[in-house]
Amino acid sequence: MATLRERLKTFRFGRRQTWRSTPLGMRICFYAAVFSLFASVGALALLMRTQYLSPLEIALTILIVGGFAIAYASVSIAQRYWLIPVLGVVQGLIFGVIGGYYRDSSPLVASHSVLHRQLQILGTIGMVSVLLGYALFIVFFARQGARYFRAHNEIAMAAEIHRALVPPVHRTIGSFEIYGISVPSGEVGGDLVDIAEDGTSWTGYVADVSGHGVSAGLLMAMFKTAVRTRAEDASAAELLAEVHRALYPLKTPNMFATVAVLRWSQEGFELALAGHPPLLHYISASGEVREYPAADMPLGILPEQAFGSRRLTCRAGDILMLLTDGLTEVFDRSGNEMGIAPVKEALRRSAAQPLPHLSASVRQAALQFGRQEDDQTMLIVRCLANTAAHDSSASAPAS
């Protein structure tokens, strides 16, 4: 019994929170609809009286009926049901005062005439029809609303899970400062940024799961789990191949993921890109920004896929940046795509800033060009000392 009570309490709280989260314009629209509907009931009630009605009495009656309808709706939404009989008594007293004040109004139609009876019948039918329609709408919205509240709560829970799975990353590991952040375009994002460390090496990666919402978030969660369980000993190319084999049977046919993996070990940097935007390498000595494009298809395209990798050199002051296409596939009002050039310029211009400020500068460049339509994620690595690795062409694909 206590468990049921707790569930009901949680449901009530969720419903109130959902109503508070409804945009103000939509709430005003709802209350205006309630007022208009019950104002017509007040007009029908006045029509049935067949007496002379002053403009003030007409206005007061319509305002009182519509206003109290809004009050009934408000206390029902707030679930303060004990106020409903109180409002009923107050409304009855007000109408009693108004009726007493206007009780000597002169009749416009004889009380026993055929027209009087017809107006009474039509007015009653009209009022019953309006109230019945309102009651049926309430039943419909209550049942559909319960489904909406459940879906809303599920999405809110998925958003909480996403925030837990994709927290901002800012740490120093050995000779590297690393910063990562993901800003979803909706409540549940499909991008992932993460660092897996095993003491002597680390693996940073950025992934972009196709689509949005709960399904993309679930695949992203499975992706992170698969990477974390395989990142310790596998090379970048082997990691992509193993994660692909693990996730391919679990995803829907139309889903895939673009991935960028940057791994540091005693052998140096290794980069693997699967259908992902290029890695940007800011070279401190020359101020140049070099691109390393993807050579492989995204994960999840074919049942069997192979992935290659390449080695990189990173010297003190250099910056490596991985990002998702939410920062490059931004469109202005004319439909022009921003592309990667403004991102490279923002990286070049802000390379000396702290990494969180650099990240903000890159994202600001995208937001100034156009509205965010996709998740925007980046992983930035600043080299604090020279590395002994060498830059080479793509290595043999991992099976």
- Segment 48-99, tens digit of pLDDT: 887 888 888 889 888 998 898 899 888 887 878 888 889 889 988 988 888 7
Give yes or no: residues 77 and 180 share one domain: no
Range of the domain at 263: 167-383
Would residue 398 count as lying in a domain? Answer: no
**Spatial contact of 214 and 189, defined as CB atoms under 8 Å apart:** no
Would residue 239 count as lying in a domain? Answer: yes
Distances (CA, A) of 181 to 190, 260, 266, 327: 13, 15, 26, 12
Which runs of E-coded beta strand occur in 252-371? Answer: 257-265, 268-274, 279-283, 288-292, 310-312, 319-323
The pLDDT value recorded for residue 392 is 44
Give the integer Cα–Cα distance in Å for 292 and 276.
10
The pLDDT value recorded for residue 351 is 93
Q: Three-state DSSP class for 182?
A: strand
Give the integer Cα–Cα distance in Å for 57 and 34.
21
pLDDT by residue (tens digit) across 84-95? Answer: 889 889 988 988
Q: Which CATH number covers residue 337?
A: 3.60.40.10
Give yes or no: residues 211 and 87 share one domain: no
Give yes or no: residues 135 and 259 share one domain: no
Give yes or no: residues 142 and 216 share one domain: no
The pLDDT value recorded for residue 389 is 43
Would residue 393 count as lying in a domain? Answer: no
Q: Three-state DSSP class for 54?
A: coil
Give yes or no: residues 234 and 108 share one domain: no
Show Cβ contacts of residue 243 under 8 Å, excluding neighbours closer than 6 positions: 223, 226, 227, 230, 259, 299
CA torsion sign, 318 to 324 to 330 to 335?
Answer: positive
Edge to edge, what strands does the sheet with 279-283 contain?
169-173, 176-183, 376-383, 319-323, 279-283, 288-292
Show Cβ contacts of residue 294 under 8 Å, excluding neighbours closer than 6 positions: 258, 260, 273, 274, 275, 276, 277, 278
Would residue 396 count as lying in a domain? Answer: no
Distances (CA, A) of 105 to 50, 51, 208, 224: 10, 6, 74, 78
Distances (CA, A) of 281 to 141, 218, 286, 371: 55, 31, 11, 26
Distances (CA, A) of 188 to 17, 208, 243: 19, 13, 22
Give yes or no: residues 302 and 367 share one domain: yes
The pLDDT value recorded for residue 341 is 93
Give yes or no: residues 278 and 313 share one domain: yes
Would residue 69 count as lying in a domain? Answer: yes
Instruction: Give me the residues paired with residue 268 across strands.
Output: 265
Q: Three-state DSSP class for 314?
A: coil
Q: Pick from 130, 159, 188: which residue ends a domain?
A: 159
Instruction: Give me the residues paired with residue 171 across strands.
Output: 178
pLDDT by residue (tens digit) across 325-342? Answer: 989 989 988 889 999 999
Would residue 287 count as lying in a domain? Answer: yes
Give yes or no: residues 370 and 343 share one domain: yes
pLDDT by residue (tens digit) across 264-320? Answer: 988 889 999 999 999 999 999 999 999 999 989 999 899 999 999 999 988 999 999
**Spatial contact of 247 and 223, defined as CB atoms under 8 Å apart:** yes
Would residue 132 count as lying in a domain? Answer: yes
At 339, list the tokens: 């592309």
Percent of the chain, pLDDT > 70?
84
Give yes or no: residues 207 and 338 share one domain: yes
Q: Pick from 159, 190, 225: which residue ends a domain?
A: 159
Q: Is 339 left (phi over 0), alpha (psi -120 to 50) or beta?
A: left
Give yes or no: residues 155 and 172 share one domain: no
Would residue 397 count as lying in a domain? Answer: no
- What is the helix (H) or strand (E) element at residue 202, kind and residue range? strand 202-209
How many Cβ atoms from other residues are within 10 Å of residue 227's Cβ? Answer: 24
On the question of pLDDT at 141 being above 60, the answer is yes
Give yes or no: residues 182 and 331 share one domain: yes
Give the integer Cα–Cα distance in Å for 188 and 7.
24
On the question of pLDDT at 202 being above 70, the answer is yes
Domain count, the chain: 2
Give yes or no: residues 290 and 378 share one domain: yes
Distances (CA, A) of 196 to 178, 247, 336: 12, 19, 37
